């Protein structure tokens, strides 16, 4: 794909420096990774961030494999990313977001993608595999002249209150709601999309990756069900939402570094480029064009199945 020797520039990089997690999401694809030890050290992660900047990265996504805010080093990474004038982005289950942390994240112009599969705590807890998902409270909002009464985590209420100080169009720069589409929460996605639209938040709906045998089968929807759900979500989220653009996915187009230093390009590519402990990011990324779609791609039942839907990330704050 790329001429030998030529290093394609990168937009950003996805890192996995944080191991522990307080939840046990039934669909989680990083469970196996979290059982291993991290081999990349704190200073090495910072070095990778610096190398990414030299290769042209404008954003750095902290994506696990556990919960970033259970890891006290996450704020150091965010500070460092911010100091290099790149955009920090974090996937989080939200349970550690305090008012002070939200303030800190806004100050660092970080983009937070928070997990919210449902506006119903019982359903959320089923997917989270835990009943320790914090305090949920009643919340009332108005959408197109109608009052909607829902239940949301308290930290989200605090975040929304803080964002109300911004112009509506600015809010999605700071906060996106991320939701994995499974059989358990498919009925909840439309109320969730309405909530997202009413608050002008970013969003990321991901098709569930059923990669590991440990994950319960039957969580993914059938092709017809996916199409029906996408049709309904599109009513709230706009026409671009239903367009599958796998080849333009931002995560896939850029390097992903796993907790053990393995560098790849997303989860759906076969093989890896090598270890960051042994080669520079620039040298590893030079080989990026040689990656082949993974076996996992063969498992798809339709075009929505194989990709976590991250092609929509451009709508949720990625520069």
Ligand X SMILES: C[S@@+](CC[C@H](N)C(=O)[O-])C[C@H]1O[C@@H](n2cnc3c(N)ncnc32)[C@H](O)[C@@H]1O
* Binding residues vs ligand X (CB under 6 A): 21, 27-30, 63-65, 67, 91-93, 115, 178, 180, 206, 208-209, 308
Residue number, 76 or 212, with CB nearest to ligand SF4 = 212
Closest distance to ligand X from the beta carbon of 167 (Å): 27
Residue number, 201 or 286, with CB nearest to ligand X = 201
Residue number, 94 or 255, with CB nearest to ligand SF4 = 94
17 is a site residue for ligand SF4 (CB under 6 A): no
Q: Which among 62-70, 208-216, 283-291, 298-306 is the span making contact with ligand SF4, rule CB under 6 A? A: 62-70
Residue number, 96 or 246, with CB nearest to ligand SF4 = 96
Q: Report the residue from 12, 17, 64, 68 that binds ligand SF4 according to the rule CB under 6 A.
A: 64
Is residue 300 a contact partner of residue 242, using CB atoms and an 8 Å limit?
no
Residue number, 81 or 286, with CB nearest to ligand X = 81
Q: Report the residue from 13, 17, 53, 67 that binds ligand SF4 according to the rule CB under 6 A.
A: 67
Closest distance to ligand SF4 from the beta carbon of 203 (Å): 17
Q: 232-271 burial, b for 16+ CB within 10 Å, e for fewer?
A: ebeebbeeebeebebeebbbbebbbbbbbbbbbbbbbbee
Identify the residue whose tokens are 């696990």: 64
Residue number, 116 or 273, with CB nearest to ligand SF4 = 116
Q: Which does 24 bind (CB under 5 to 8 A by kind): ligand SF4, ligand X, none?
A: ligand SF4
Residues at the interface with ligand SF4 (CB under 6 A): 21, 23-25, 28, 30, 64, 66-67, 93
């Amino acid at each position: 794909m790329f001429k030998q020797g030529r290093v394609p520039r990168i937009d950003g990089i996805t890192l996995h420096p944080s191991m522990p997690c307080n939840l046990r999401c039934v669909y989680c694809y990083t469970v196996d990774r979290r059982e291993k030890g991290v081999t990349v050290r704190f200073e090495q992660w910072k070095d990778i961030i610096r190398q990414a900047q030299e290769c042209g990265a404008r954003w750095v996504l902290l994506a696990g494999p556990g919960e970033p805010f259970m890891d006290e080093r996450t704020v150091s990474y965010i500070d460092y990313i911010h100091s290099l004038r790149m955009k920090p982005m974090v996937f989080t289950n939200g349970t550690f977001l305090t008012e002070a942390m939200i303030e800190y994240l806004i100050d660092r112009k970080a983009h937070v993608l928070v997990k919210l599969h449902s506006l119903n705590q019982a359903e959320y807890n089923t997917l989270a595999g835990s009943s320790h998902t914090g305090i949920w409270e009643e919340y009332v909002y108005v959408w197109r002249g109608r009052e909607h009464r829902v239940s949301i985590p308290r930290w989200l209420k605090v975040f929304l209150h803080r964002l109300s100080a911004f112009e509506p169009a600015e809010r999605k720069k700071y906060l996106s709601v991320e939701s994995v589409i499974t059989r358990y929460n498919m009925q909840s996605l439309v109320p969730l999309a309405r909530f997202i639209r009413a608050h002008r938040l970013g969003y990321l709906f991901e098709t569930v990756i059923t990669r590991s045998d440990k994950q319960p089968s039957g969580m993914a929807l059938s092709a017809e069900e996916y199409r029906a759900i996408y049709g309904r979500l599109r009513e709230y989220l706009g026409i671009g939402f239903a367009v599958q653009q796998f080849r333009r996915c931002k995560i896939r187009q850029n390097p992903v570094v796993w907790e053990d230093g393995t560098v790849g390009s997303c989860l759906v590519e076969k093989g890896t480029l090598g270890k960051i402990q042994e080669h520079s990011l620039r040298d590893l990324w030079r080989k990026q064009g040689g990656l082949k779609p993974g076996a996992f791609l063969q498992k798809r039942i339709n075009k929505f199945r194989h990709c976590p839907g991250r092609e929509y990330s451009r709508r949720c704050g990625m520069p």
